[in-house]
Amino acid sequence: MLKTALIAGVVGLSSLLNPLMANANEVNLYSARIEALIKPILDEFTAETGIRVNLVTGGADELLQRLQSEGRNTPADILLTTDAGRLHRAKEVGLLQAFASETLERNIPENYRDPEGYWVGLSMRARPIMYVRDRVDPSTLSSYEDLADPRWKGKICTRSSSNVYNQSLVAAMMAANGEAATEQWARALVNNFARPPRGGDRDQIKAAAAGQCDLVIANTYYLAGMLTDNDPAERQAAEVIDVFWPNQQDRGTHVNVSGAGLTAAARNRDAAIALIEFLSGDRAQQWYAEANGEYPVRDDIEIGEILSQWGDFKADPLDMSILGDNNAQALRLMDRAGWR
């Protein structure tokens, strides 16, 4: 009896002293998505599976830096972050490990998955052209390339070149048109800026509503968030803005993903894969559309009223991994073009 109790005590003490031991009933998630926009669906996962999710939230770049500094000692099993460019960066610096899942291969289109199995996209983020409804006739809009036309001089607002969403847009333009043509386009686009880039996507939308510009390049979920915001000023700014889907006659509108990967040091591997699979399922995919204003990566999921009001669109089918491959070149190109 004494020997049994002693062994049990040693095992229990060992567990307390070694928090990095695997536990089949929990998973540790580092999420760049804020708690309010992820925890409810994580709670559903726990209720369904009995697996507890320990959630750590933070800025996307902050979490990458944290994983790098923690190295093999990180408690994180999953990195959930925004933009294929960041997922590619995490893969390139050795923060992720490859994994296979028939469920994910079945649920998620191939172009939204890393070709080597290091990460998968879980929601789609569209970055179209937005316009002030009373000042722009949508029939005069056509493509991203057309934004370089001098008739838009002083009329365009967008974020800086340090923003990964714009880096990915330029990376996609490079894939479509080549580096030389994209640099020429970027120089002309910069010449059409209404003001030096500053602030986030919401700030661009508010600048347009205030008359500082007529056109905005921004992600639709920011506009969706403003339309449902508790702040009347946010809603009023968003209500004068409409969405135009560019490049519908050729490759389609630029899209990106938020996604997840298994960390290189993941100890709760099976539980982590189970959570990522759950996030590709029907309920989670509906959650992205309803709560986050993002598009499901699956085309069999119904979207909500706000997304529906902007209509269907053709998305660029570009492999998301190319956005990561082209990222460094895209940033250098933007610097050369004077996109600050």
181 and 117 assigned to the same domain: no
133 and 236 assigned to the same domain: yes
27 and 154 assigned to the same domain: no
Q: Is 112 annotated as a binding residue?
A: no
- Whether this model's pTM surpasses 0.95: no
88 and 145 assigned to the same domain: no
Dihedral angle sign, alpha carbons of residues 106, 111, 117, 120: negative
Range of the domain at 172: 126-254+316-336
Q: Is 222 annotated as a binding residue?
A: yes
pLDDT at 307: 94
The predicted-structure confidence for 25-34, as pLDDT tens digits, reads as follows 999 999 999 8
264 and 304 assigned to the same domain: yes
Dihedral angle sign, alpha carbons of residues 110, 90, 127, 247: negative
Runs of H (alpha helix) within the chain: 2-17, 39-49, 60-70, 84-92, 102-107, 164-177, 179-191, 201-209, 220-227, 232-239, 269-279, 282-287, 305-308, 320-325, 327-336
The predicted-structure confidence for 245-292, as pLDDT tens digits, reads as follows 999 999 999 999 999 999 999 999 999 999 999 999 999 999 888 888
CB 302, CB 113: distance < 8 Å: no
CB 172, CB 254: distance < 8 Å: yes
Number of other residues whose CB lies within 10 A of the CB of residue 90 = 24
298 and 327 assigned to the same domain: no
CB 104, CB 78: distance < 8 Å: no
82 and 14 assigned to the same domain: yes
59 and 175 assigned to the same domain: no
∠ Cα 247 248 253 (to 5°): 60
154 and 32 assigned to the same domain: no
* Structural domain total, the chain: 2
109 and 186 assigned to the same domain: no
Average pLDDT over the chain, rounded to whole? 92
84 and 119 assigned to the same domain: yes
Q: In the predicted model, is pLDDT for residue 181 greater than 80? A: yes
Give the whole-angstrom CA distance, residue 192 versus residue 149.
8
pLDDT (mean) for 71-76: 97
41 and 84 assigned to the same domain: yes
Checking phi first, is residue 266 left (phi over 0); if not, alpha (psi -120 to 50) or beta? beta
